[in-house]
Amino acid sequence: MKTSLYTGLQRKIILITLLVSLAPLIVLGATIYCQFARMYGDKITQQITYRSRGLSEAVELFLKERIAILCSMADTHHFNEIINETNLSRIFEIMNSRAGAFVDLGVIDSNGQHLAYIGPYDLKGLNYYQQPWFGEVLTKGVYISDVYMGYRKLPHFIIAVRRQEKDHIWILRATIDSGVFEGIVKAAQVGKTGDAFIVDKNGAYQTQPRFEGKILTKSNLETNSFGGGTTVVEKKSGQGKQVLFAGTWINHGKWLLVIRQGVTEEMTGLFSTRDMEIAIILSGILAIILMTVFTTRMTISRLRDADLKAAELNAQLMQSDKLAALGKMAAGIAHEINNPLQIIIQKTGWMEDLLDEEEFRKSANLDEFRDSIKKIEGHVERARKVVHGMLGFARKMEPHLEDVDVNAIINQALDLLGNYARINNITIKPDLSPELPIIAADGSQLQQVFMNLISNAIDAIGSDGVIEVNSLRVGPQIHIEVSDNGPGISEEKQKKIFDPFFTTKETGKGTGLGLWVTHNILEKMGGSINIRSQEGKGTTFTVQIPILIPEKK
Amino acid sequence: MNYFRVLVVDDEEDFLETIVKRLGKRGIDAAGSASGEKALELMREKLFDVVLLDIKMPGGMDGIEALREMKKIAPLTEVILLTGHASVESSIEGMKLGAFDYLLKPINLEDLLTKLAQAFEKKDGQDQKIRSAKIKELMRFPARVFQQEKDEEK
């Protein structure tokens, strides 16, 4: 019952302490982590945006260069010059040496007729009039195709520019090896998961992506989710990983340059920070839990000890209160009983006296009378002893101080009881410290104490046994132990052992006052008496007497 | 045992009556008094060798007070105090006032007789000392016999 009270209290204190100390720690940790993650995320987004923008500028520049060189070639040559394949071949060489990446070069007239061609394929004579790009280049002046697989199974795209020569219109068309700008794009494929590629409006790859998918196949990017400028879109990849896509529209909104970056890789810094933070917080939590449990346990055990001591003190107080009240009552009873006893004993005495007279001597029941009178006297004597016991205490309320050698008093008691012990075959082993000081105490009262304890020990053993009597100086006290190897006293009885009229002896043999008086005498002296007993092993009474140094006379 | 006169003072009539009877049966000239006042009256009328005095008599004269008066009336008469539980201190006081001894109630007749005898012996010894002193005085100054008689008349 009491134990569960303490464990309940302990649990409550631990819970509250942990709650109060851990909650802010966890909230703080989580907040810091969230803020940090957000900042980190922002930083990554920013980075990827810059990369996307930079790359798109590079690609745009590449395209612009090609268009510019094509335009300048178209603008600086007349139709008549350019359809001459020798001239065209020279122009092609100049273009390739200045800019590179041109695969072929052709001239197409306004009817779509391929009039001149320099390049590895036999494209001369083909008519492009029906081709959609042909119309576009005629109207817009410049055309850049999407990437397609050429006859060499290499990705290509074409750039065509229109040349207006008075009322004559012709077109200069070049094929560009898109592998070249793939090189530019690939330079941005960094890290383990970084990728860069270009898709067209429908999401088809225009360059070979680093992972998943092939050129000209459809990517699963929804291009319409990318707005103007550079847009960052977050997606889950096939393996459930977070991937960031930063897309920038290039080539007049025809192509989308995409930088792809796995979040996990970029976040490793954050994750290691997070792991460290978690480790720090966890070790903090562990330390807090350990400390809390430790300190709470200590507090609770201190509390329990204090409670125990208080309870003990309380019990002692109650005991002495009880004994004091009982003492008063006993004294009152003794007084009231004494007078009737006095009269009874005198009246019986008178009757006894009268029995000696002649007339009674002849009575047949003389012996009966005598016997009855003896019995009455016997029992009055018994009552008298009880009352005297009580008076013994009451009488000795004020101790009379004299110089006392405790050992001498013990020896006196042993002398007085030695015979009684011998008869019952009990050995008394005294072990008295020779270093006891002479103290100021009431010798006759102490004598009574030791007589009580030793005769009790003899009575407890009955016959055949050993009694040890030790005296020892312990600090400001003299301790005297009287131990017997008798049957011991149960714990239940130990509690009542100092109560008046409590006796373990047969009815009529003990008054139950001896230990009560002993206890009271010692308490008056400022000493104490304790019992230590184990059933079947024996009993030890320890008497503690304060050392009062006698006044010098 | 010599014949001697005892006065028992106790407010318990039953006790008083019985103890007087029992002492009488043992050849002691015992008289009883239930109060201090009456005891003093008796002592003025008659000489007693020993007085057995209950120290605690509720109502009326207290034992100690009676003792003081008795010592004034008959300084040589020995007083044995009868005491209950709470009156040991009073007994000690009584002893200081010249009581011979005290007995704890309830008393045992044998003890009482012993104590009475001791008290009587003491008193008797004192008497004898006084007597021999007087005889010596008379031997020296025989004329003082008359003076003595005069004193006794008083």
**Contact call for residues B76 and B48 (beta carbons, < 8 A):** no
The domain boundary residue, chosen from A228, A249, A266? A266
Residues of B with CB under 8 A from a CB of A: 12, 14-15, 18-19, 21-22, 25, 84-86, 88, 104-109
Give B23→chain A minimum CA distance, Å. Answer: 10
**Contact call for residues A284 and A25 (beta carbons, < 8 A):** yes
State yes or no: pLDDT of A479 exceeds 90. Answer: yes
State yes or no: pLDDT of A150 exceeds 70. Answer: no
Q: Which residues make Cβ contacts (< 8 Å) with residue A165, sequence separation at least 6?
A: A78, A79
B40-50: per-residue pLDDT in tens? 999 999 989 99
B88: nearest CB among A345, A380, A395: A395
pLDDT, average across residues B117-130: 89
- The continuous run of DSSP H or E covering A222 comes out as none
What is the predicted pLDDT for the residue at A480? 93
Interchain contact, B85 vs A390, CB within 8 Å: yes
Q: Quick count: other Cβ atoms within 10 Å of Cβ A440?
A: 16
Specify the 3-state DSSP secondary structure of A174. strand
Mutation target vs A (from B85, B88, B89, B90; most A CBs, 10 A cutoff): B85
What CATH number is given to the structural domain containing A55?
Answer: 3.30.450.20
Give A507→chain B minimum CA distance, Å. Answer: 22
> Directed axis angle between helix B36-45 and helix B63-73, to 10°?
10
**Contact call for residues A527 and A545 (beta carbons, < 8 A):** yes
Interchain contact, A384 vs B12, CB within 8 Å: no
CA distances from B42 to A41, A164, A322, B4, B12 (A): 126, 177, 48, 16, 18
Interchain contact, B104 vs A388, CB within 8 Å: yes
Angle formed at CA A383 by CA A382 and CA A386, multiple of 5 degrees: 95
Mutation target vs B (from A333, A343, A351; most B CBs, 10 A cutoff): A343
| CA proximity to B85, closest of A521, A331, A398 | A331
Q: Is the peptide bond before B106 cis (omega within 30 degrees of 0)?
A: yes
**Contact call for residues A55 and A261 (beta carbons, < 8 A):** no
Residues of A with CB under 8 A from a CB of B: 331, 334-335, 338-339, 341-343, 345-347, 349-350, 353, 380, 384, 387-388, 390-391, 394-395
Chain A partners of B18 at a C-beta cutoff of 8 Å?
343, 346-347, 349-350
Give B85→chain A minimum CA distance, Å. Answer: 5
Task: Determine the residue of chain B that is closest to A383 in CA distance.
Answer: B106
Give B105→chain A minimum CA distance, Å. Answer: 7
pLDDT, average across residues A161-171: 85
Mutation target vs B (from A339, A388, A513, A517; most B CBs, 10 A cutoff): A339
A510-526: per-residue pLDDT in tens? 667 788 888 888 888 88
Q: Which tokens is A285 given?
A: 């939590």
Evaluate whether residue A372 is within a structural domain.
Answer: no
What CATH number is given to the structural domain containing A491?
Answer: 3.30.565.10
Evaluate whether residue A333 is within a structural domain.
Answer: no
User: What residue numbers bound the domain in which A11 lies?
Assistant: 1-266
**Contact call for residues B21 and A348 (beta carbons, < 8 A):** no
B22: nearest CB among A342, A353, A394: A353
- In a shared domain, residues A154 and A7: yes
Chain B partners of A387 at a C-beta cutoff of 8 Å?
85
Band (pLDDT 50/70/90 cuts) for residue B87 is low
Residue type for position A489: I
Task: Determine the residue of chain B that is closest to A391 in CA distance.
Answer: B85
User: Residue A219: how many CA atoms within 13 Å on its side-chain side?
Assistant: 28
Beta bridge partners of A532: A540
What is the predicted pLDDT for the residue at A543? 92
Q: Given its phi and psi angles, is residue B98 left (phi above 0), alpha (psi -120 to 50 degrees) or beta?
A: left
Interchain contact, B86 vs A388, CB within 8 Å: no
Which residue, chain included where needed, has tokens 């103007």?
A228
State yes or no: pLDDT of B149 exceeds 70. Answer: no
Q: Which tokens is B14 given?
A: 């039953």
What is the predicted pLDDT for the residue at B51? 93
A392-444: per-residue pLDDT in tens? 554 444 556 778 889 988 988 888 888 888 888 999 999 998 888 888 888 87
Distance from C-alpha of B46 to C-alpha of A235, rounded to nearest angstrom:
137
State yes or no: pLDDT of B34 exceeds 70. Answer: yes
Residue A179 has phi, psi (to 5 degrees) of -55, -30
Distance from C-alpha of B9 to C-alpha of B40, rounded to nearest angstrom:
10
Q: Is the dihedral of CA B23, B24, B29, B30 positive or negative?
A: positive
Specify the 3-state DSSP secondary structure of A208. coil
Task: Determine the residue of chain B that is closest to A333 in CA distance.
Answer: B85
Could you give the percent of chain B with pLDDT greater than 70?
89
B15: nearest CB among A335, A346, A394: A346
The domain boundary residue, chosen from A216, A233, A266? A266
Interchain contact, A345 vs B108, CB within 8 Å: yes
Q: Which tokens is A284 given?
A: 């903090």
Distance from C-alpha of B47 to C-alpha of B69, rounded to nearest angstrom:
14
Task: Determine the residue of chain A that is closest to B85 in CA distance.
Answer: A391
Q: What is the 3-state secondary structure (H, E, C) of A88-149?
A: HHHHHHHHHHHCCCEEEEEEEECCCEEEEEECCCCCCCCECCCCHHHHHHHHHCEEECCCEE
The domain boundary residue, chosen from A245, A266, A287? A266
Chain B partners of A342 at a C-beta cutoff of 8 Å?
12, 15, 105-107
Instruction: State how far Cα B70 lies from the chain centre.
Output: 8
Rounding to the nearest 10 degrees, give the CA dihedral for residues A238, A240, A244, A245. Answer: 20
Band (pLDDT 50/70/90 cuts) for residue A483 is very high
Distance from C-alpha of A349 to C-alpha of B18, rounded to nearest angstrom:
9
Structure ipTM: 0.77
Task: Determine the residue of chain B that is closest to A334 in CA distance.
Answer: B85
Task: Pick the range with the lowest mean pLDDT from A116-130, A160-174, B6-20.
Answer: A116-130
pLDDT, average across residues A74-97: 86
Distance from C-alpha of A188 to C-alpha of A55, rounded to nearest angstrom:
7
What is the predicted pLDDT for the residue at B154? 47
A284-341: per-residue pLDDT in tens? 889 999 998 999 999 999 999 999 899 888 887 777 777 677 767 777 777 778 888 8
Task: Determine the residue of chain B that is closest to A357 in CA distance.
Answer: B25
State yes or no: pLDDT of A4 exceeds 70. Answer: yes
Task: Determine the residue of chain A that is closest to B22 in CA distance.
Answer: A350
What is the predicted pLDDT for the residue at A2? 63
Pick the CATH number of B5-127 from 3.30.2020.30, 3.20.20.80, 3.30.70.330, 3.40.50.2300: 3.40.50.2300
Interchain contact, B85 vs A346, CB within 8 Å: no
Q: Which residues make Cβ contacts (< 8 Å) with residue A438, sequence separation at least 6?
A: A403, A404, A405, A550
Specify the 3-state DSSP secondary structure of A381. helix
| Residue-by-residue DSSP string for chain B | ----EEEEE-S-HHHHHHHHHHHHHTT-EEEEESSHHHHHHHHHHS--SEEEEES--SSSS-HHHHHHHHHHH-TTSEEEEEE-GGGHHHHHHHHHTT--EEEESSP-HHHHHHHHHHHHHHHHHHHHHHHHHHHHHHHH-TTHHHHHHHHHH-
Distance from C-alpha of A424 to C-alpha of A465, rounded to nearest angstrom:
9
Evaluate whether residue A19 is within a structural domain.
Answer: yes
Tally the domains of chain A: 2
B18: nearest CB among A334, A347, A384: A347
Give B149→chain A minimum CA distance, Å. Answer: 43
Interchain contact, B109 vs A339, CB within 8 Å: no
Chain B partners of A341 at a C-beta cutoff of 8 Å?
105-106
**Contact call for residues A141 and A149 (beta carbons, < 8 A):** no
Interchain contact, B22 vs A349, CB within 8 Å: yes
Mutation target vs B (from A333, A341, A342, A391; most B CBs, 10 A cutoff): A342
